């Protein structure tokens, strides 16, 4: 029995040791795990997508912790645009909620996206300064292609803000180099001209060379806010082709969802979509240079993943910042219900590729006019037209109850002159002829720049895509409050309301179209506006009228149901004929309502045709003249030859006569 017990104890010890060894192998796996995200856009809490609850930082924390438990070599990174999209961004400058939460989740490095600059570079610096007041340790933000000289900031000042070109992370077994940058398309979308960026590919070449020479890392990772997809020309694929030594590119900006990675020039290009609905996990074998990619997985963050309780509690603490912001505009909670929609509106993504009228665009532009009426009260001056650009519509409305938070997400971009989150509405004046230009921007320019398309309240037009570019509109009119048609007087000033950034963009139309489209926002006296902040509409409490509040107030104003909740009327279930863009071919339609652009093109084309005809005539004349000269030369030559032949004949005859005489003499 003693021997048997000793044998059992020995076997148990061996098995227990084996169990510990297996656990140890799993925990200290030689592979490297890269957990990644991008384009989170302040979606701190779960949201509904296709009927499912997805996303949420508390769930993401659980996923990160699980991966770290499985792999001793784990890094967590983000590819930019971690802010701007929900009410949490309202405390971006003063409280840095998104940045601090990503630090709490265990991120090792981030990069900027273009939306981190939405409030301007100065406010971004203030956000980073605020974050340091709350947190001692924060992940570095990597952005290697900021041109310090042209931006007017030193490298040391950037580093003091925790902005670095790259970072070296020493995991248990490997040295990992991570750098970040913004691509060309992302840079073009940054409106603050105070910050200047170098070309992303040239910068990456220099940074990778420096990293290799100084540190000889096992893995090089690029956090690239450049993107993949035709809209940006596959910038990250171009980056991978241009540089041999980048192992992984986390590709943000285009919200691309890549279920399998793109392998280009040996570089793994990874992208996980937007808003934290999924997290990416790449398993690498840094030792095997030829077969580095072990596995690639996009993990759906759904309700099957348990939320981390500590993260949930921390998020609840941050909500006080949101309620403070909402109270300034008369709302008390992000979950406050403002309306009920008995139908679905089209998804925001489908709107940007469709030039035709959209019910959501009609709803938003109508809300602008309603908001101005409410804000100005007895002092209200008639608004003739309101314009809402599709590029600033960030979300849509699904069937069901609509909260303040959801309304904010629809119009979440920008900041006002008051340095408070949200673009304000502003008022400008345009001549009637310029209203035609406004319609023309939508009908023509939107075809090549989808995000330039506009949705109107108070303005209707007809256009045909077969007509001359920048002259596709052949009918334009005002729509009265009762839906009646009102003819536009071309020399009359009309009041137009839009978001301030839209108004500023209208002010650049004339220059950017090389004067082809005449459109200059003016004040009520017809003077060109140079400072649009003076046109901002404010409430009776001297608070800027934000775009999102205009929509929220309008939704709240509809007739209520039995539960006291406002219901969106069926009017917005379909379009109303405000925008009528056709593509059928009609010869009479091609020759009606020409503007000076078509006339100019017509004259130029006809002038070219006349020149071509004249050139052809001259060429024909020259050819004919040459032919006549050639014929004359030939004739002259033939005549000369004939004269020569006659002369020879005469000589031959004379010789014959002489010979005959000689013969006679001989005889």
Phi, psi of 338 (to 5 degrees): -110, -25
Which SS3 state, helix, strand or coil, does residue 621 take? helix
Contacts of 486 (CB under 8 A, 6+ apart): 477, 478, 479, 480
Provide the sign of the torsion angle of the four alpha carbons 64, 66, 69, 71, taken in this order: negative
Cα-atom radius of gyration of the chain, to the nearest Å? 37
**237 close to 265: Cβ distance less than 8 angstroms:** no
655's tokens: 């010789």
Which SS3 state, helix, strand or coil, does residue 399 take? coil
Average pLDDT over the chain, rounded to an integer: 89
Q: Please tell me the least confidently modeled range out of 13-27, 447-461, 486-500.
A: 13-27
CATH hierarchy code of domain 29-310: 3.60.21.10
233's tokens: 């020309």
Mean pLDDT score, 653-667: 49
76's tokens: 């967590």
pLDDT in tens, 356-392: 889 999 999 999 999 999 999 999 999 999 999 988 8
pLDDT in tens, 112-148: 999 999 999 999 999 999 999 998 799 999 999 999 9
The residues spanned by each domain of the chain are: 29-310, 334-571+587-593, 594-627
Give the position of tokens 């940006």: 232
**151 close to 55: Cβ distance less than 8 angstroms:** no
Architecture per CATH, 334-571+587-593: Alpha-Beta Complex (3.90)
Size (the chain), residues:
667
Which SS3 state, helix, strand or coil, does residue 601 take? helix
Contacts of 662 (CB under 8 A, 6+ apart): none
pTM metric for this prediction: 0.84
**461 close to 454: Cβ distance less than 8 angstroms:** no
Q: Please tell me the least confidently modeled range out of 152-156, 371-375, 618-622, 636-640.
A: 636-640
Distance CA 225, CA 115 (A): 11
Query: How far, in Å, are 238, 295, 551, 632 from residue 265 at the CA level?
Result: 10, 18, 48, 70
pLDDT in tens, 44-87: 999 998 889 999 999 999 999 999 999 999 999 999 999 999 99
pLDDT in tens, 555-597: 999 999 999 999 999 999 999 999 998 888 888 888 887 776 7
């Amino acid at each position: 029995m003693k021997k048997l017990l000793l044998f059992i104890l020995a076997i148990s010890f061996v098995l227990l040791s084996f169990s510990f060894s297996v656990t140890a192998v799993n925990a200290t796996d030689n592979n490297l795990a890269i957990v990644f995200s991008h384009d989170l856009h302040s979606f701190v809490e779960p949201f509904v997508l296709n009927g499912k609850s997805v996303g949420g930082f508390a769930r993401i924390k659980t996923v990160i912790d699980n991966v770290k438990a499985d792999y001793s070599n784990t890094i967590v990174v983000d590819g930019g645009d971690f802010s701007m999209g929900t009410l949490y961004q309202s405390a971006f400058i003063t409280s840095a909620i998104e940045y601090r939460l990503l630090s709490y989740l265990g991120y090792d490095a981030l990069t900027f996206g273009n939306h981190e600059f939405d409030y301007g570079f100065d406010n971004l610096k203030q956000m980073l300064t605020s974050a340091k007041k709350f947190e001692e340790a924060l992940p570095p933000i990597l952005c290697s292609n900021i041109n310090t000289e042209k931006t007017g900031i030193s490298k040391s000042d950037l580093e003091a803000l925790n902005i670095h070109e790259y970072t070296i992370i020493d995991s248990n077994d490997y040295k990992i180099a991570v750098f970040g940058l913004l691509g060309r398309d992302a840079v073009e979308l940054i409106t603050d001209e105070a910050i200047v960026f170098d070309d992303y590919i040239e910068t990456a070449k220099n940074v990778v060379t420096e990293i290799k020479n100084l540190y000889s890392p096992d893995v090089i990772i690029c956090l690239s806010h450049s993107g993949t997809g035709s809209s940006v020309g596959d910038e990250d694929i171009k980056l991978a082709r241009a540089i041999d030594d980048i192992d992984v590119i986390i590709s943000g900006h285009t919200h691309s969802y890549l279920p399998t990675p793109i392998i280009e020039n040996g570089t793994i290009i990874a992208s996980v979509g937007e808003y934290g609905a999924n997290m990416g996990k790449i398993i690498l074998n840094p030792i095997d240079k030829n077969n580095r990619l072990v596995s690639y997985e996009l993990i759906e963050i759904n309700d099957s993943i348990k939320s981390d309780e500590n993260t949930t509690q921390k998020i609840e603490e941050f909500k006080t910042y949101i309620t403070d912001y909402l109270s300034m505009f008369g709302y008390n909670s992000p979950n406050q219900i403002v309306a009920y929609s008995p139908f679905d509106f089209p998804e925001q993504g489908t709107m940007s590729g469709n030039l035709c009228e959209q019910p959501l665009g009609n709803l938003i532009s109508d809300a602008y006019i309603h908001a101005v009426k409410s804000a100005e009260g007895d002092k209200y001056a008639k608004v003739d037209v309101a314009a809402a650009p599709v590029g600033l519509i960030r979300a849509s409305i699904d069937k069901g109850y609509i909260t303040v938070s959801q309304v904010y997400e629809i119009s979440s971009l920008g900041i006002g002159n008051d340095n408070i989150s949200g673009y304000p509405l502003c008022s400008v004046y345009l001549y009637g002829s310029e209203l035609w230009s406004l319609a023309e921007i939508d009908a023509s320019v939107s075809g090549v720049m989808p995000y330039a398309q506009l949705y109107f309240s108070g303005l209707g037009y007809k256009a045909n895509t077969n007509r001359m570019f920048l002259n596709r509109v052949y009918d334009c009119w005002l729509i009265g409050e009762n839906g009646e048609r009102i003819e536009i007087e071309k020399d009359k000033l009309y009041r137009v309301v839009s978001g301030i950034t839209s108004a500023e963009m209208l002010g650049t139309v004339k220059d950017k179209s090389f004067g082809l489209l005449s459109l200059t926002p003016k004040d009520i006296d017809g003077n060109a506006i140079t400072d649009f902040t003076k046109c901002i509409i404010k409430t009776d409490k001297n608070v800027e009228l934000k775009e999102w509040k205009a929509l929220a107030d309008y939704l709240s104003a509809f007739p209520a149901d039995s539960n006291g909740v406002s219901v969106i009327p069926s009017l917005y279930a379909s379009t109303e004929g405000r925008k009528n863009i056709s593509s059928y071919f009609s010869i009479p339609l091609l020759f009606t309502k020409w503007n000076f652009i078509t006339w100019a093109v017509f004259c130029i084309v006809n002038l070219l045709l006349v020149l071509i005809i004249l050139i052809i005539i001259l060429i024909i004349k020259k050819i004919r003249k040459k032919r006549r000269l050639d014929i004359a030369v030939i004739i002259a030559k033939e005549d000369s030859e004939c004269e020569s032949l006659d002369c020879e004949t005469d000589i031959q005859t004379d010789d014959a006569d002489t010979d005959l005489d000689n013969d006679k003499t001989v005889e």
